[in-house]
Amino acid sequence: MFAYRFKMNFEEQDGFYRDVELGVDQTFLNFYNIIIDSLSLDKTVPCSFFICDHRYRKKKEIIMPSQDQNQENEPANEQSGDQKPKLRMDKCYLNDLIDDPHQKFLFIYDIPKEWTFYIELSKIVSREKGETYPRIIKAVGPVPQEISRKPRPLPGLDDEDIAETEQEAEEMDISPEAEGTYGEEDLDEFDDSSFYNDAVDSSQDFDERKL
């Protein structure tokens, strides 16, 4: 049994790529799931694959099953001559749509924003016994910040610093919500005007002639 090995790059980030392997008999829905799960992306966001020519020009779209259901619920446009059903990820097998040794695809994440991954078939390999497919065999570069669900770290803090800060807060039994309001009631009770008045009154007792 064989597997396809693909290289996937992201349009907005140099130094990011993933090598992904899928069985030749797996579907584009399997491909979608390994991309979304490995990058921890949002599964509620609409996405599509596009079969492309050697210059990444779009030829056919492969949509999510949920997108197809949404279109079925929409009223038909009688004036439109395009009645061809769109390809669905769960119905399309890789070996049925790959006819080029360097077959190219686009994966568009968040269709309105068009975050684009470029995918190219790099090799056909034998499947390894005991391995689960699809799988990521090489990962270079972090998840693109433009699409990441993970909040951006504060300037000057790396992941280790953030983890240590969270651990210290837990040991001190300080919740994140409490950190922003800690001490506010004490500040409200403090009247700096009385402190200033006391200081002025005490200064009146000072007489240089007594020195």
In this prediction the pTM is 0.66
Q: What is the pLDDT of residues 142-201, one digit of tens each?
A: 988 888 765 444 445 455 554 554 555 455 554 444 444 444 444 455 455 554 455 445
> What share of the chain in percent tops pLDDT 70?
62
Query: Does residue 20 surpass a pLDDT of 50?
Result: yes
How many CA atoms lie less than 13 Å away from 98 in the CB half-sphere? Answer: 25
Arithmetic mean of pLDDT over the chain: 78
Query: Does residue 120 surpass a pLDDT of 80?
Result: yes
Determine the average pLDDT of the residues in 3-10.
97
> What share of the chain in percent tops pLDDT 90?
55
Q: What is the pLDDT of residues 52-63, one digit of tens each?
A: 999 999 999 999
| Least-confidence region, from 32-36, 70-74, 91-95 | 70-74
Distance CA 89, CA 144 (A): 24
Domains along the chain with CATH numbers? 2-140 (3.10.290.30), 159-202 (no CATH)
Determine the average pLDDT of the residues in 115-128.
97
Q: Give residues with Cβ within 8 angstroms of 121, minimum separation 6.
A: 4, 5, 6, 98, 100, 101, 102, 103, 104
